[in-house]
A and B are shown apart, each in its own frame.
Chain A
């Protein structure tokens, strides 16, 4: 009998939680795969890693990752992660969540963590809709897209997430699609090595729900859209990176350094206590 070989990355996943809940054709598996590859390539200490998710399909990613993990209430992973990072700055704190969680109900926490330059890393799976509740329209749903709550076509302007992140002060901002698996893994490695607030948006296929309403019924059709529309434009103006049917600008938009909140805070604490001792 041939012994089944373990997948080289299986140690990074909680096997007891499998099978996962994600639909066929969903991009979340690719995102999780790229994430654990990035961890593996960086030989990260799993004991120092904390993965936090909110609510939504990708929200299960925290639990699937075999490390310290926490699944918060809807919209609050960044606020929870702020508490973790400040309580122990030696921990690498990564938030993996969806567009609705991070930018609708949780949008305030995103912009304020970016403004403070809190040293946490945010990975957003953007599938243009609320998949878990059945595909309702959300903050990134494209204009004129059909969803169960925009049956006549969406009339709300979507957020351009990379522009929002850059404007709020993020020190690293990138966007990829799940088609760009290798680039995405490299980008995640970079994100994990940054000091300050860092953000990757990943355009992710949701054929079972979003695609079904928008003439892209299979994962393949959605990936073909990404392939046709994606243009790599590194360091381009995030303001011009709006997502349209014809063009999805991907690449690294922002890669800067500036003082990190928790470092400034601990320097203040040291300075205050040093003064006391004099």
Chain B
């Protein structure tokens, strides 16, 4: 890349964290606030260099609480904004993630998952924050969470995360893991003009008629930003369509919180994405995401060589949970195998929709993700 070229394109060899940072730039992100943490630091380092080159803002805040607050502020001032962290920082962000949900601030949070709880194993991978992504902040709400399984997807899904955040005015998470964040692979980046970008809906009413939380039919309100001439108020308190606090009204509470949930739930079919491999006649279905899905794919192929009708369902969207798809796959399968780098998180949702179908859960903690052989053995069992 010559200095004059602001955007990468073509084939590159890079690690997942850097692919994520470049994906953010391609998506139109022009504000990054963060705090150093392994294994996500390379995202911040890369953006500290790249953001000024494209006229964007990079700031290192005093902690992850501040980072999350700052990206909400930047989002409300009209910029696409992102932060990146790992488990401990993700925990600190939870309260302000709730604020972003409540004030419908489009933003992207990258969690390069490591081993927990607490400080845990900073340099080793995990998938232990999957439930926290869904339930980590208090109150009822819905968010969107994506799970990349390759360096290419660290780029592609970061772009997608911004598009979803802008479409639904919701914090969107890229739930990566240490292996995907740190491994090096080839990434193909399309020319910038070929990348599909979505920007938040803007109000098309006179300034004085603007109601900042009055939704359209899709349940998403158009968004004005500070300095655009719309004098409006936003608050983390329960608020009416005008944005004014309504702390005593059960009617307003019900209307607001239901809408915040339903704008995602009712659009689940439009949001969820998954990869299906050899599912048509599969009797044993492996459901795996992130780096674990790579080993699972290899295991499924080996099982087929042995004459076992195995298939892979890889959810690319973790939240909202692809309930319909999972249920359909479970119905057709004889048995489901779920390897996860945790003590059982997404498997709980899978068991819920699989009903009476047997689910074999393969937990894995520590240094390495599951090997293909470990998953293959689970496929072979009883088949």
Contacts and interface: CB of A to CB of B under 8 A. Distances in A.
A90 B57 contact: no
A29 interface: no
Interface stretch (B72-80, B264-272, B286-294, B363-371): B72-80
Given A87-B78, A269-B55, A14 B233 contact: yes
B4 interface: yes
Given A17-B244, A70-B76, A83 B232 contact: no
B44 to A, nearest CB: 15
B109 to A, nearest CB: 14
Interface string A71-90: 11100100111111111101
A72 B71 CA distance: 12
Contacts of A86: 31, 57, 59, 70, 74
Given A68-B227, A272-B52, A88 B73 contact: no
Interface stretch (A36-44, A45-53, A136-144, A170-178): A45-53
Contacts of B230: 68
Nearest to A261: B59
Interface of A: 14, 16-17, 46-48, 50, 52, 60, 62-63, 66-73, 76, 79-88, 90-91, 108-109, 112, 265, 268-269, 272-273, 275-277
Interface of B: 3-4, 31, 33, 52-53, 55, 57, 59, 61-63, 65-67, 69-79, 81, 95-96, 98-99, 103, 226-237, 242, 244-245
Interface centre among B4, B71, B72, B98 (most CB of A within 10 A): B72
Given A62-B233, A88-B77, A79 B227 contact: no
Nearest to A83: B73
A189 B52 CA distance: 33
A87 B77 contact: yes
A70 B235 contact: yes
Contact of B227 (A81, A88, A268): A88
Contact of A91 (B33, B72, B77, B237): B77
Contacts of A66: 231
8 contacts: A14-B244, A48-B227, A63-B245, A72-B69, A83-B69, A86-B70, A87-B73, A276-B4
B70 A88 contact: no
B95 to A, nearest CB: 5
B226 A91 contact: yes
